[in-house]
């Protein structure tokens, strides 16, 4: 039987810091031997990368370079997975934004170099003052390009449904991206509006909400539904298994070393945020029209993508009951005329009589309550697992985990997997932890913060079924 390479081994090719260029002369130093630990982080709620370098400095690097912030740091490494011919160097190109925890002992000092993406620093200096038009993914591409952050990194994006107009208002590009993400409805989503019946307000069904983030591969802008689609072949799921230890010298590359579950039920918080049901109240100053629309997560559940057991039956019975009554009232100004200069009727609403409505209408009733509920539902089940280091994993990908059934051994033999907690999850954040001083080859672990909106494994019954 072929021997497997240690799954937590890795090789640091180089860690080079470049000083500020002065008169064509740029200092650079390889600080690989000064570094003891590397913590690298990606998160789907953050449009920039983060990294901490733990430095033991006996060379006076701070004053020798000197380090004053903004210096370029390039980390090149290989992890211990895959065959030699399959290995590619992984490169992190970052900038120094802080020095913290500095302690001195004789001629030796220790400190932490805080690193981030170059765009994170540029973002603080750019204030967008122009009017931005188009679909959100196009606007974000423009903000990342020469007219904004000047980034050369690629943007992988999912098409959204509605065109919009956004007034920059001297906001930073990343702030605008975060705002637009909450306003987006995926192009594949079906949005429907019912008419009022007696005392019942018309209801709106649908899903909304995107994430805008950065990985080592570039920027990403995807809807929650798009990320959760289990049939998306472009986002294959890694499979990790919880077991006692190696069995028959099998590969432990995909073994779960540790698993912790965070709080899974917080009904009070969900009620106050309007996760289960809410009422949207709009006033149109151009027409004087007042309108109310109701939104229920239960009614929109079937039209959403899910990582756990599919179907409305998988909605916990408590959530179904709480969806009967709105627990949050959201009031907003709704005006289709805001960015319309024509003489016709701008409203695209049926019954308003617009023959040539504006493409930049006010779509708030299709995303306001929907995005709130969708973001909240993504934390229905949340866990953190630690696995042997896998540098290829990025935030926004999926993981399929198999956890042991926590029952007596005789019962575990009948059903080895915990069917409620096992299954597909979305990687909210990934932390790669490189320890350069442990053992002969160092130690490399990856911590994954996982989230999902439904319990259970696909195509298997779950105890959370409400029917």
pLDDT tens by residue, 113-125: 999 999 999 999 9
In a domain, 255, yes or no: yes
In a domain, 315, yes or no: no
Question: Which runs of E-coded beta strand occur in 80-191?
Answer: 90-105, 108-116, 131-134, 155-157, 164-167
Of 121, 138, 153, the position where a domain reaches its end is: 121
Residue 246 has pLDDT above 60, yes or no: no
Of 121, 145, 174, the position where a domain reaches its end is: 121
Peptide bond into 358 cis (omega under 30): no
What is the CATH number for 84?
A: 2.40.10.10
Candidate from 173-177, 202-206, 250-254, 391-395 with smallest mean pLDDT? 250-254
> 253 with 391, same domain?
yes
Residue 306 has pLDDT above 80, yes or no: yes
What is the CATH number for 436?
A: 2.40.30.150
User: What is this structure's pTM?
Assistant: 0.90
Of 97, 121, 145, the position where a domain reaches its end is: 121
Average of per-residue pLDDT across 53-82: 87
In a domain, 355, yes or no: no
Candidate from 5-9, 84-88, 267-271 with smallest mean pLDDT? 84-88
> 399 with 255, same domain?
yes
In a domain, 113, yes or no: yes
Candidate from 5-9, 267-271, 287-291 with smallest mean pLDDT? 5-9
In a domain, 187, yes or no: no
Specify the number of domains making up the chain: 2
Let me know if 195 is exposed, middle or buried by CB neighbors in 10 A (0-12, 13-18, 19+): exposed
Token look-up 């229905």 returns: 380
Mean pLDDT of the chain: 85
> 91 with 238, same domain?
no
- Helix axis angle, 136-144 to 173-183, nearest 10°: 170
Beta pairing partners, 215: 218
Q: How confident is the model at residue 188 (pLDDT cuts 50, 70, 90)?
A: confident
In a domain, 428, yes or no: yes
In a domain, 294, yes or no: no
What local confidence, expressed as pLDDT, does residue 316 receive? 64
Range of the domain at 391: 234-263+378-452
| Digit-coded pLDDT (tens) for 216-225 | 999 999 999 9
The β-bridge relationship of strands 155-157 and 218-223 is: parallel
In a domain, 154, yes or no: no
Instruction: Note the Cα 453 to chain centre separation in Å.
Output: 14
Q: How confident is the model at residue 182 (pLDDT cuts 50, 70, 90)?
A: very high
> 388 with 257, same domain?
yes
């Amino acid at each position: 039987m072929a021997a497997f390479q240690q799954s937590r081994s890795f090789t640091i090719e180089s860690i080079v810091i470049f000083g500020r260029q002065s008169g064509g002369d740029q200092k650079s130093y390889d600080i690989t031997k000064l570094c003891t630990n590397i913590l690298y982080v990606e998160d789907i709620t953050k449009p920039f990368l983060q990294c901490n370098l733990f430095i033991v400095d006996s060379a006076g690097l701070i004053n020798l370079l000197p380090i004053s912030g903004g210096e370029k740091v390039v980390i090149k490494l290989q992890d211990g997975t895959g065959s030699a011919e399959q290995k590619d160097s992984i490169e992190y190109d970052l900038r120094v934004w802080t020095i913290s925890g500095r302690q001195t002992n004789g001629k030796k000092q220790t400190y932490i170099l805080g690193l981030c993406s170059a765009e994170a620093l540029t973002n603080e200096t750019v204030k967008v003052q122009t009017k931005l038009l188009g679909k959100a993914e196009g606007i974000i591409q423009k903000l990342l390009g020469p007219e904004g952050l000047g980034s050369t990194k690629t943007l992988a994006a999912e098409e959204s449904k509605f065109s919009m107009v956004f007034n920059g208002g001297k906001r930073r590009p990343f702030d605008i991206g975060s705002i637009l993400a909450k306003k987006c409805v995926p192009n594949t989503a079906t949005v429907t509006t019912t008419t009022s019946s007696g005392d019942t307000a018309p209801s709106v069904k649908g899903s909304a909400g995107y994430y805008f983030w950065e990985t080592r591969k570039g920027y990403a802008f995807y809807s929650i539904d798009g990320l959760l689609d289990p049939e998306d072949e472009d986002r294959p799921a890694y499979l990790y298994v919880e077991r006692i230890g190696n069995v028959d010298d099998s590969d432990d590359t995909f073994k779960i070393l540790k698993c912790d579950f965070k709080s899974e039920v917080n009904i009070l918080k969900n009620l106050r945020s309007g996760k289960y049901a809410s009422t949207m109240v709009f006033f149109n100053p151009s027409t004087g029209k007042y309108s109310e629309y109701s939104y229920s997560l239960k009614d929109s559940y079937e039209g959403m993508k899910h990582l756990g057991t599919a179907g409305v039956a998988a909605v916990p019975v408590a959530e179904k009951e709480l969806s009967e009554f709105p627990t949050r009232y959201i009031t907003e100004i709704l005006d289709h005329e805001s960015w319309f200069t024509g003489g016709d009727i701008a409203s695209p609403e049926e019954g308003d009589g617009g023959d040539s409505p504006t493409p930049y209408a006010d779509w708030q009733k299709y995303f306001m309550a929907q995005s709130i509920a969708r973001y909240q539902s993504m934390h229905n089940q949340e866990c953190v697992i630690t696995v042997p280091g896998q540098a290829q994993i990025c935030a926004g990908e999926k993981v399929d985990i198999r956890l042991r059934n926590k029952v007596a051994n005789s019962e575990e033999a009948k059903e080895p997997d915990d069917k409620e907690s096992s299954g597909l999850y979305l990687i909210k954040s990934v932390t790669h932890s490189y320890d350069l001083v442990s053992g002969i080859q160092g130690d490399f672990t990856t911590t994954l913060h996982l989230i999902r909106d439904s319990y259970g494994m696909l195509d298997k019954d779950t105890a959370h079924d409400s029917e």
